[in-house]
Amino acid sequence: MSGNEKMLITGGTPLEGEVRVSGGKNTSVAVIPATLLSDEPCVIENLPDIDDVHALVDILRSLGAEVDYVPGVHLRVDPRPAQGTYVGYQDASRLRASYYLIGALLGRCGRAEVAFPGGCRIGTRPIDQHLKGFQLLGARIEDKGGMILAEADQLTGTSIVFDVVTVGGTINVMLAACRAEGYTVIHNAAKEPHIVDLANFLNSMGAQVRGAGTDVIRITGRSRLHGTTYAVIPDQIETGTLMIAAAATHGNVVIRGCIPTHMESVTAKLLEMGVRVVESDDAITVRQAGPLRAVNVKTQVYPGFPTDLQQPISALLTIAHGRSNIEETIFENRFRHMDELVRMGARIMVSNRLAIIDGVEGLYGAPVTATDLRAGAALLVAGLMARGETEIYEPEYIDRGYEHIEDKLRALGANIRREKIRP
């Protein structure tokens, strides 16, 4: 991103106190494009004030929608004036989820011309399953010069079986199928909490989506969808990142406004490490006193251990007693942060999708660079627990997915600030 600032953290202070989780990034980037499927204004609340949301607000405006956005408060979208169907590279490359505009515009008006998405460099991240789903619904797809052109005279419901479990593919097909004529069944669907949240949002607009959260989603298309007011769910990955940071600093933190059932695989793994985790209805308390035990982590689709928390927990494992093995089964290039952790004194060997971490007494601060959003989160955790000062370059990656993270951590006692880099 070659930004012009760096984050500075002086580590070693246990995080203590209470923090409130923001609305979910990965649900917000699905729900905001979905407003285009409505024939009336929609209001969305609890959106996180993050760059991915800002990018989508700009894209909706560029398509002609009337958007009233108060960061951190609410978003009102009136899609009726939107006539646009084109999203160019400059806008689309600001976030991976720009490809949801294909499904939303296909559902809205049967035409979309969207530049191939940007996003984190954690693997090839093809969208063949998205395009297969659109074609089965009756759309003609053309991939020309980095642009995806999708057109359909009329989308028609059908049966779709994904070859791989894909969050993005499931979401994109849900968006298009909501306005298709007839009945669509999606087999081998993703089951993440944000899939369920999108289904709830769509149904609040009068859509007929059943089975979200299971691997079979059934959708009866609707010719019209009405307006709604909806609050998105809290961010599962921010919750997990804060849990890991609390454990890494031997802290005592109450994480409020989260959904503990979304965190079960993360809670189980931290308990396995010897971390004390206590759940209540809408809060999780993480208290770390004694030594951390090494464990094995294998990323899986929901409800398995989330790939988005593989990078943050790898920072925690650098100080666990013993050898930990991390197997990244979802993306083929999601270990780029390991080199940066080694610069801070970690002992890590990487081979393809396996990382072996031998625990050390502690990390020491060093200059490091974030290579993607969750790599940045991993370096944040490492900086909070390291002796001395850590400088994180490219912290803009972190801003894509964590709302006001420095304010939250400073309120928990962290010594963290940002500085401009001398030109």
Active site residues: 120
Shortest reach from residue 252's CB to ligand EPZ, in Å: 27
Considering only residues 38, 307, 324, 369, which one is a binding residue for ligand EPZ as defined by CB under 6 A? 307
The two beta strands, 16-20 and 252-256, are parallel
| CB-nearer residue toward ligand EPZ: 207 or 237 | 237
| CB-nearer residue toward ligand EPZ: 64 or 303 | 303
Q: Is 167 in the site for ligand EPZ (CB under 6 A)?
A: yes
Please, what is the angle between helix 25-34 and helix 167-177, to 10°?
A: 20
| CB-nearer residue toward ligand EPZ: 200 or 288 | 200
Quickly list DSSP for 32-52. Answer: HHHGGG-SS-EEEES---SHH
Among the residue ranges 165-173, 180-188, 388-396, 403-411, the one whose residues contact ligand EPZ (CB under 6 A): 165-173
E strand spans, 84-215: 86-87, 111-115, 140-144, 147-151, 159-161, 183-187, 208-210
Q: Is 336 in the site for ligand EPZ (CB under 6 A)?
A: no
Q: CA 384 → CA 4, 9, 381, distances in Å?
A: 22, 6, 5
Considering only residues 22, 28, 35, 166, which one is a binding residue for ligand EPZ as defined by CB under 6 A? 166
Shortest reach from residue 27's CB to ligand EPZ, in Å: 8
- Collect all residues with Cβ–Cβ distance below 8 Å to 51 and sequence separation of at least 6: 94, 95, 396, 399, 400
Using CA atoms, how far apart are residues 134 and 157, in angstroms rounded to an integer?
Answer: 10
Please, how many CA atoms are within 13 Å of residue 126, restricted to the half-sphere of its CB?
9
Q: Is 29 in the site for ligand EPZ (CB under 6 A)?
A: yes
Considering only residues 70, 164, 268, 421, which one is a binding residue for ligand EPZ as defined by CB under 6 A? 164
Q: Is 26 in the site for ligand EPZ (CB under 6 A)?
A: yes
- Collect all residues with Cβ–Cβ distance below 8 Å to 268 and sequence separation of at least 6: none
Among the residue ranges 125-133, 267-275, 282-290, 360-368, the one whose residues contact ligand EPZ (CB under 6 A): 125-133
The single residue listed with the structure tokens 């607000």 is 57
Considering only residues 21, 44, 97, 284, which one is a binding residue for ligand EPZ as defined by CB under 6 A? 97
Shortest reach from residue 161's CB to ligand EPZ, in Å: 13
**Residue 166, token pair as written in the block:** 């894909």
Using CA atoms, how far apart are residues 41 and 25, in angstroms rounded to an integer?
Answer: 22
Binding mask 199-238 for ligand EPZ (x = CB under 6 A): ----------------------------------------
Assess contact for 380 and 245: CB atoms under 8 A: yes
Using CA atoms, how far apart are residues 11 and 18, in angstroms rounded to an integer?
Answer: 19
Considering only residues 169, 221, 251, 312, which one is a binding residue for ligand EPZ as defined by CB under 6 A? 169
Q: Is 102 in the site for ligand EPZ (CB under 6 A)?
A: no
**CB burial string 37-69: b at 16+ within 10 A, e below:** bbeebbebebbbbbbbbbbbbebbeebebebeb
Q: Is 309 in the site for ligand EPZ (CB under 6 A)?
A: no
| CB-nearer residue toward ligand EPZ: 266 or 292 | 266
What are the φ/ψ torsions at residue 16 (nearest 5 degrees)? -140, 135
| CB-nearer residue toward ligand EPZ: 122 or 319 | 122
Shortest reach from residue 130's CB to ligand EPZ, in Å: 5
Considering only residues 6, 130, 191, 408, which one is a binding residue for ligand EPZ as defined by CB under 6 A? 130
Using CA atoms, how far apart are residues 148 and 99, in angstroms rounded to an integer?
Answer: 9
Q: Is 330 in the site for ligand EPZ (CB under 6 A)?
A: yes
Q: Is 304 in the site for ligand EPZ (CB under 6 A)?
A: no
Q: CA 247 → CA 120, 160, 176, 374, distances in Å?
A: 26, 42, 42, 17
Q: Is 374 in the site for ligand EPZ (CB under 6 A)?
A: yes
Q: Which residues bind ligand EPZ (CB under 6 A)?
A: 25-26, 29, 96-97, 120, 123, 125-130, 164, 166-169, 190, 307-308, 330-331, 373-374, 401
